Amino acid sequence: MSRSRTTARTRAPTRTRARTRLRAAVAVAAGLVLAVSLAACGKAAQVGETVGATGPHRGPLRIGVLLPENEIVRFERFDAPLIQQRVKQLCPRCTVSYSSAQHDPVSQRNQIEAMITNGVDVLILDAVDTRAVRHSVIQARQANVPVVAYDRLAEGPISAYVSFDGARVGRLQGEALLRALGPHPENRRIVMMNGSSTDPNAGWFEQGARSVLEGKVKIVKSYETVGWRPENANRNMSAAIAALGPHGIDGVLAANDGLASGVITALKTARIHPLPPVTGQDAELAAVQRIIQGEQYMSVYKPFKPEAYTAAEMAIALGHGTSLRGITKHWVNNSTTRGIPAVLLKPAALTVHNIRSTVIKDGLYRVDQICTKKYVDDCRRVGLIGRNGSSHDAG
């Protein structure tokens, strides 16, 4: 497949450079009318010229990392440290400034503006609200600060994007739920606990799940969960139980592990036993422990290291004005910009049967972190520790 040059700096004479800048401006303006979609390699090549850095940077880079919250364990424990680690490996003199928006879009916009004012060269942005952040992304472009969209595709003139294939995430959840329901799921009643409408990934996940579930089960309730907050999922699930009755729910497709925790709490409060199968996403430690207990059926494991490392590599390349050709393999569109160079990583289903070969093998968790005193019997039952309490940790 042919690929376009996304970040190379033109070396043409002044008049040619002026024409190039004019064409780039027209291409960006034309992208404002387009909706979010995934672009194939050849199709995106025609517009990829508009999304790179403005030219090489001299000296150490200053990289800003903006994540949406610290309530979800992954951001503080994995994403932020791994991004910093990779930056230091590739560019020892580069510096990283990190801010968490605490779920607040206004705070995140202020953080972006402060970083631009303080002279950052590149931003890595996981948006709280992908639409609300659009103006800040435009401000970054005006200040010649490329923005790498991390995990969620923000609106505005994004320079690069890294995430996991959201449709595949939803399909993995839907397929796992069908397996849990048994060979004849036609009359089984499913509740969908989707994510927040301010996150385009939520729609991507839901679309993937529905592609598997629709026509095979009865989707009796479907909710948006504002802010991806577990307490909102709990409230939604309590409403579903009240409307459908304690025996009217055969499974729950919860979009991530935080929502799964709220769902399971509501089911247990209603004294529903046995619990119906509940899905999740992110392989949080608490979710892995719920899976071992039998309270949560599955999660989706998205290795954080490849995502964080890729974001760092993109940021350094953009900051230095070099091409992303050796990094990106896809292009995506948001509602304002076409042909954004992207990396879409592959997730994996996580169940009680492959904990050792996924999150333990990859070093995400150790057996002793999972199998604390409360979970020793469950860990013994599923084979993570032996009868004598010895660990079966893999390598």
Residue ranges and CATH numbers for the domains of the chain are 14-164+303-345 (3.40.50.2300), 166-300+348-382 (3.40.50.2300)
Omega before 81 within 30 of 0, i.e. cis: no
Q: What percent of the chain has pLDDT over 90?
A: 77
Residues 246-263 have a mean pLDDT of 97
Tokens in use for 63? 């990289």
pLDDT digits (tens, 9 = 90+) for 179-233: 999 999 999 999 999 999 989 999 999 999 999 999 999 999 999 999 999 999 9
pLDDT band at 76 (very low <50, low <70, confident <90, very high): confident
Rounded Cα distance, 241 and 248, in Å? 8
Confidence band (pLDDT; 50, 70, 90) for 74? confident
Give the angle subtended at the CA of 26 by the CAs of 22 and 30, to the nearest 5°: 170
Question: Which of 11-20, 89-98, 125-134, 240-249 has the weakest average pLDDT?
Answer: 11-20
Average pLDDT taken over every residue of the chain? 86
Predicted pLDDT at 392:
54
Helix (H, G, I), strand (E, B) or coil at 277: coil
Reduce the DSSP state of residue 159 to 3 states and report it: coil
* This model's pTM is above 0.95: no
pLDDT at position 58, please?
Answer: 64
pLDDT digits (tens, 9 = 90+) for 319-336: 999 999 999 999 999 999
Which pLDDT tens digit goes with each residue over 267-314? 999 999 999 999 999 999 999 999 999 999 999 999 999 999 999 999
Q: How many separate helices (H) and strands (E) can be counted in the chain? A: 14, 13
DSSP per-residue letters across 301-356: E--HHHHHHHHHHHHHHHHTT---TTT--EEEE-SS-S-EEEEEE--EEE-TTSTI
Measured distance CA(149)–CA(134) in Å, rounded: 11
Decide: helix, strand or coil at residue 235: helix
